[in-house]
Amino acid sequence: MCSEEELFQLAKERRRSFVSKTDEILSVSIDAPGSFGRLFANSSLAGWITLRDRKLGKVAMDIHDQAAMSVAVDVLPRRLGERAFVNIELDRQTMKFRPKGR
Mean pLDDT, the chain, rounded, equals 88
CA-based R_g, the chain, Å: 14
**Report field, pTM of the whole predicted structure over 0.85:** no
Q: What is the pLDDT of residue 60?
A: 93
Cα–chain center distance at 57: 15
pLDDT value of position 51: 97
pLDDT digits (tens, 9 = 90+) for 30-68: 999 876 655 666 677 889 999 999 999 999 999 999 999
Assess contact for 47 and 66: CB atoms under 8 A. Answer: no
Q: What is the pLDDT at residue 42?
A: 63
Report yes or no: 28 and 83 within 8 Å, Cβ to Cβ.
yes
Residue type at 97 in one-letter notation:
F
Instruction: Find the mean pLDDT for residues 5-34.
Output: 89
Residues 6 or more apart from 1 whose CB is under 8 A from it?
Answer: none
